[in-house]
Amino acid sequence: MTRVTGRELFLIAAIGLFWGLNWPAVKIILGEIPPWTLRAIGFSLGAAILAAIAVWRRETLRPAPREWCMIAVAGLLTVFGFNVLTAFGQLLTQTSKAAIIAFTMPVWASLFAYVFLAEAFTRYRALALIMGMAGLVLLSSEDIPAFTANPAGPLLMLGSAISWAAGTVLLKGTDWTLGPIARAAWMVGFSAVPAVAMALAIDSPAQLPWPSTTVLATLAYHVAFPMVACYVAWVLLVARLPAGVAAIGTLIIPVVGVLSAVVILGDPLTWQRLAALALVLASILLCVKEPAAGGTRRPD
């Protein structure tokens, strides 16, 4: 079994806060910048900043020959697939609902980790997952007809969850020679290539009006924290914890996203959302308190 240390708990909290606030941030940005252009800017600037930090920290930016394919696929799944699908999904789905669907990710990550990494599915982890997912189901129960009226949005968000989960398991299942920041730089960098190509082909970014000061400030936050700080924190977290435990830790993100949408976007605060917050925090506490004795792999 796995005990979560104070440092890992800090990473979970930072990811939950900054990626949670990113949900209303992206909604604000999409009001003036189309999805492909947003992702092209975010990925390109994020990759450049991460590469510069890696060089400053004297981390090599040259992957081993066997790592090129793995880091490209991990990046395209974890960064490109998740972020592009959530951007388009938010155009078709209310922000709080989009976050709920996207964070079925722990279910898929736990299942993929059990199948492909032979990670044990302990009773603590199972109960944490059940409680966390119960919180998300409670959130979705607020308006089921509206939740299912437009299937395109929910399907895009479900695809984003599966994409991130698959990338997380691939990231965990590889022995890397690259340091965490260099790894994050390549993951974001590989994602920038198709995003830039699609932005040039579809959005004609040179012809777009200059964004407002509010959107530019929000874009700066989006690049500095979700694109740079959070991906470094996520790579570190996946390296230190079983994939299933790391994934369950992300359940705080949609709660922060929903509550910040209440404050920033004016979404209503309901009893379901408050109860979901309690369930999700309880699920994370179970992971933190999981006994340290035993192994992290399932018995054969």
Q: pLDDT tens digit string along 21-61?
A: 999 999 999 999 999 999 999 999 999 999 999 999 999 99
Mean pLDDT of 232-237: 91
Residue 288 has pLDDT above 50, yes or no: yes
- Beta-bridged to residue 239, according to DSSP, are none
Q: pLDDT tens digit string along 169-224?
A: 999 999 999 999 999 999 999 999 999 999 999 999 989 999 999 999 999 999 99
Kindly report the number of other CB atoms within 10 A of residue 146's CB atom: 11
Q: Which pLDDT band, with edges at 50, 70 and 90, does 147 fall under? A: low
Coil, helix or strand at residue 65: coil
pTM of the model: 0.84
Residues 6+ apart with CB under 8 A from 114: 121, 244, 298
∠ CA 131-136-142, nearest 5°, is 130
Rounded Cα distance, 167 and 115, in Å: 14
- Hey, where are the domains in the chain? 6-288
Between 15 and 139, residue with greater pLDDT: 15
Q: pLDDT tens digit string along 64-115?
A: 999 999 999 999 999 999 999 999 998 888 787 788 788 788 878 888 888 8
216-229 as b/e: b if 16+ CB within 10 A: eebbebbbebbbbb
Q: By CB neighbour count within 10 A (0-12 exposed, 13-18 middle, 19+ buried), where does 299 fall? A: exposed
